[in-house]
Amino acid sequence: MPQLNKLSAPPQGLSSGAQVILDMAKRLFAEQGFDAVSINQIARQANVSKANVFHHFSSKEALYLAVLRSACEETVGSLAETHSSGRVADDLWTFFSSQLAAMLGNPASAKLILREIVESKDGRERTLAEEVFAEYFSRLVGMVRAGQAQGVLRRSFDPALFAYLMLGANIFFFENHKVTAHLAEGGFVRAPERYSRDVFQLLLQGALADPEADHQAPGS
Amino acid sequence: MPQLNKLSAPPQGLSSGAQVILDMAKRLFAEQGFDAVSINQIARQANVSKANVFHHFSSKEALYLAVLRSACEETVGSLAETHSSGRVADDLWTFFSSQLAAMLGNPASAKLILREIVESKDGRERTLAEEVFAEYFSRLVGMVRAGQAQGVLRRSFDPALFAYLMLGANIFFFENHKVTAHLAEGGFVRAPERYSRDVFQLLLQGALADPEADHQAPGS
DNA sequence: GTCTATAAATGGATAGAC
DNA sequence: GTCTATCCATTTATAGAC
């Protein structure tokens, strides 16, 4: 349970040897968590010696931190540019669907970050992973608030609450779709795109202002 | 990462010595996960010797299984009786709000079960925890389906999808409310009851059939 | 940068006294 | 039922050759 309260990113890339170690470590840490993975395992699967791992990373915790930093960089990079289209519903849809696609497209990074957020211990300071999450969240809240200001969305609910629901729906799906797939009534997880579209439609339906019946679903 | 594919519960209670070990193990496993907790740690915090732990539980895995079984029993017990009130919206509300309350009222058990579900490895069989989840889920899907049959809820969406959203909203809140509490726009998590009510209202709004404007929110 | 060999500590688990 | 003492495998991490 490493701490990582600092954002201080090392400026440049890694040597090729260090890179394969880091990639393998990312995969294993994401799948099994920090404690379940040993340096031995990482070294073996990366086809290097254990000592070589410690040559590139001063400790297991330092390796984990490097992995997490890399995951955060990939994540913020994947949603760098979000240009508004003017239509709030479309912007929300773009954000919503691309966020799930980003997680499914890079599950290792997503799992790492989500794990780090949930695992955060007691009275501990804010972590790097939480910074990323907060960034996501604030952007989404802004969109919802804009929709309310324009009168497209009802003003009777907290914009942060709606944003929270949207984010939660995606993250919950991402973390559980393997399990829910073999659930009796869970046939609806056949395709993530379909899930995305249907959930968004349901959520938006609950948020739209009354007289605006002419909004068409983004996927149709 | 124990397996636990069997439901076979040992019939009766435990001796008092074993009970304090199990309680402490439950707390620690819930907070830190299986691999991060050592028998040493459990023994120390329970004020017994390490050997005593192995006297009561044949292995670390057996202890974990006993802990998980206890958590599942507590959980299914907490929502044993759910008698329908006739009004679908009220039934949904009862289910929704009491589920979150149950998790918050017994966070250790809830965390254990959720962790076990998410952590489930590759092509592995169904676990005890998943049985509990499936039970929950099926009951909720039935309610939604009934609401659609009565015409209270729109028929244009998959009832399992809506149930999934409800469950997800609660679980996501439960797992993240400590983190989201110190989020900039996250002031809405001030009180779980308020979160419950507002989210339910938002979700129901998206699911209600059109002409039925006379449904009042359950909390108001 | 990469390796073999090894140190020092901790993990799960057992033996046997009380 | 509970303990101390011990076993052995595995862990993180280091030393030093190439």
Phi, psi (deg, nearest 5) at residue A205? -55, -40
Q: Give B219's pLDDT tier (boundaries 50, 70, 90).
A: very low
CA contacts within 13 A on the Cβ side of A154: 19
3-state SS assignment for residue A52: helix
- DSSP letter string, B127-142: PHHHHHHHHHHHHHHH
Q: Which of residues 18-77 of B touch strand C (CB under 7 A)?
A: 37-41, 50-51, 54-55, 58-61
On whether residue B148 sits in a domain, the answer given is yes
Identify the residue with better confidence: A10 or B28.
B28
Using alpha carbons, select from A25, A180, A41 the residue that is nearest to residue A112: A25
**pLDDT > 70 fraction of chain B, expressed in percent and rounded:** 86
Identify the residue with better confidence: B82 or A3.
B82
Q: Among the listed ranges A92-106, B112-126, B205-219, which one has the minimum average pLDDT value?
A: B205-219
The residue-averaged pLDDT of A22-29 equals 98
**For residue range B29-87, what is the model confidence (pLDDT) as tens digits?**
999 999 999 999 999 999 999 999 999 999 999 999 999 999 999 988 877 677 788 89
Domain total in chain B: 2
CATH of the domain at B106: 1.10.357
Residues of B in contact with A138 (CB under 8 A): 184-185
Highest mean pLDDT among A3-7, B15-19, B131-135, B214-218: B15-19
On whether residue A155 sits in a domain, the answer given is yes
Q: Using alpha carbons, list the distances in angstroms from residue B68 to B60, B111, B115.
A: 12, 10, 10
pTM of the model: 0.90
CB contact under 8 A, B202 and A203: yes
Which residue range(s) make up the domain with A54? 16-69
Which chain B residue has the Cα nearest residue A207? Answer: B202
Phi, psi (deg, nearest 5) at residue A107? -60, -35
- Six-digit token string for B45: 């915090």
Q: Give A128's pLDDT tier (boundaries 50, 70, 90).
A: confident
Identify the residue with better confidence: A150 or B183.
A150
Mean residue pLDDT across chain B: 86
- Domain finish residue from B68, B91, B112: B68
Using the structure, give the distance in angstroms from the CA atom of B134 to the C1' atom of C11, rounded to a whole number.
35
Q: Of A136, A141, A185, A190, which to mutate for an interface test with B (greatest number of B Cβ within 10 Å)?
A: A185
**For residue range A164-208, what is the model confidence (pLDDT) as tens digits?**
999 999 999 999 888 787 777 767 777 889 999 999 999 999 899
Identify the pLDDT of residue A33: 95
On whether residue A214 sits in a domain, the answer given is no
> Does residue A211 register a pLDDT over 60?
no
Which chain B residue has the Cα nearest residue A159? Answer: B185
Which chain A residue has the Cα nearest residue B1? Answer: A36
Using alpha carbons, select from B70, B65, B63, B32 the residue that is nearest to residue B48: B63
CB contact under 8 A, B186 and A164: yes
> Does residue A122 register a pLDDT over 60?
no
Nearest CB to A134 within list B33, B161, B184: B184
> Does residue A216 register a pLDDT over 80?
no
For residues A85 and A158, state if they share a domain. yes
For residues A180 and A108, state if they share a domain. yes
The residue-averaged pLDDT of B93-103 equals 94
On whether residue B46 sits in a domain, the answer given is yes
Identify the pLDDT of residue A7: 42
d(CA B25, CA B37): 8
Q: Is the CB of A40 under 7 A from strand D?
A: yes
Q: Give A14's pLDDT tier (boundaries 50, 70, 90).
A: confident
For residues B84 and B47, state if they share a domain. no
For residues B92 and B46, state if they share a domain. no
Which residues lie closer than 8 Å to B81 by C-beta, 6 or more apart?
A: none
Mean residue pLDDT across chain A: 86
Q: Closest approach of chain B CAs to the CA of A13, in angstroms?
A: 31
Identify the pLDDT of residue A80: 65
The residue-averaged pLDDT of B163-168 equals 95
On whether residue B122 sits in a domain, the answer given is yes
For residues B52 and B112, state if they share a domain. no
DSSP-derived secondary structure letter, B186 = G
CATH of the domain at B24: 1.10.10.60
**For residue range A55-105, what is the model confidence (pLDDT) as tens digits?**
999 999 999 999 999 999 998 887 767 778 889 999 999 999 999 999 999
For residues B154 and B190, state if they share a domain. yes
The residue-averaged pLDDT of A11-21 equals 82
Nearest CB to A138 within list B164, B180, B184: B184
Burial class (CB in 10 A: 0-12, 13-18, 19+), B2: middle
Cβ count near B27 (within 10 Å):
19
Q: Closest approach of chain A CAs to the CA of B44, in angstroms?
A: 20
Residues of A in contact with B133 (CB under 8 A): 179, 183
Identify the pLDDT of residue B172: 96
Q: Among the listed ranges A154-158, A207-211, B55-59, which one has the minimum average pLDDT value?
A: A207-211
